[in-house]
Amino acid sequence: MTAANGSPRPRVPSRVRVAPVLLALGAALTALPGCYTPQLLRLQGGLDSLRTVVDTLTVRDSVAFTVLLDTRRELAEQRELLLSTRATTGSSSKEVTDQMSRLDARLDELTKRFAQNASRPAPAAGVDPGQLYDQASQDLTQGRYGMALTGFRDFLSRYPSSELADNARYGVGECFFAQSKFDSAAVEYSRVATDYPDGDKVPAALYKLALSEDKLGKTDAAKKTFQDLIKRFPDSGEAQLARDRLGSAPH
């Protein structure tokens, strides 16, 4: 099986365990000074609960697998932070307490993400496309660009003729634009305009295409795209923005 970009997609195991990472993090917690025992105990209990969820979670699709890999990285970062705190003799009580509070909040967030993922139905032929699209949109809004990109591409692969297909393609462009990958963003915005000429995302796609071109230093191309947007969709909000960018009076 290959990914949307044509590269081989890693084989997704039927069950992924992150218990070793959690155990190591738990050991780091218990090794810290005893004056923070109440906080450490709460974190230890949360880690034990999270490990139980992870050990029983079946990975059913590539999106879930991405979530798990991302979480493993985040847990490893937490472990390094705790070890660093332990090794730094100059840390004040307040600094350590603040770090514990941030980790506690992060643990709650990760636990909720696992719970949401575990209850999410596995993608199938009859899955609601709106649900898949909404999840990708939520990931984009909350800054999880890698997950959003996977979700939008999964949607396009499953529902290429959906009325939301142009929105999903635009979403792919937004994922790249948000990460300052303007060359890739420009390709995706351009595809919205060419593949879905009657779609309602075309004006927005043309506007963001012009912005991407401008970011890439293609000033003439950006100007031409702005002009094309104004000509094709003169009454759109994006056309007004394009006029402002060009410095011309509305007409």
Per-residue pLDDT of the chain (251 residues; tens, 9 = 90+): 444 444 444 444 444 444 455 555 555 555 555 554 555 555 555 565 555 544 444 334 445 555 555 665 666 555 556 555 555 545 555 565 565 566 666 666 665 565 555 555 444 455 688 899 999 999 999 999 999 999 999 999 999 999 999 999 999 999 999 999 999 999 999 999 999 999 999 999 999 999 999 999 999 999 999 999 999 999 999 999 999 999 854 44
Among residues 119, 141, 173, the one where a domain terminates is 119
Among residues 85, 119, 153, the one where a domain terminates is 119
Could you tell me if 230 and 149 lie in one domain? yes
- Long-range (24+ apart) CB contacts under 8 A made by 40-46 are 40/100, 42/104, 43/100, 43/103, 43/104, 43/107, 46/104, 46/107, 46/108, 46/111
**pTM beyond 0.75, yes or no:** no
Could you tell me if 109 and 208 lie in one domain? no
Query: Model confidence over 51-72: pLDDT tens digits?
Result: 554 444 433 444 555 555 566 5
Among residues 74, 95, 119, the one where a domain terminates is 119
Residue 242 placed within a domain:
yes
Q: How far apart are the first and last CA of the chain?
A: 52
Q: Is 143 left (phi over 0), alpha (psi -120 to 50) or beta?
A: left
Residue 24 placed within a domain:
yes
Could you tell me if 95 and 151 lie in one domain? no
- Per the structure, the count of domains in the chain is 2
DSSP assignment string, 146-180: HHHHHHHHHHHHH-TTSTTHHHHHHHHHHHHHHTT
Residue-range definition of the domain harbouring residue 91? 19-119
CA 214 – CA 208 distance, rounded (Å): 10
Could you tell me if 144 and 107 lie in one domain? no
Could you tell me if 146 and 104 lie in one domain? no
Residue 14 placed within a domain:
no
SS3 103: helix
Contact partners, residue 21, CB within 8 Å, separation at least 6: 72, 75, 76, 79
Q: Name which of 18, 9, 11, 81 is nearest 50 in CA terms.
A: 18
Could you tell me if 93 and 141 lie in one domain? no
Residue 241 placed within a domain:
yes
Could you tell me if 105 and 147 lie in one domain? no
Could you tell me if 153 and 73 lie in one domain? no
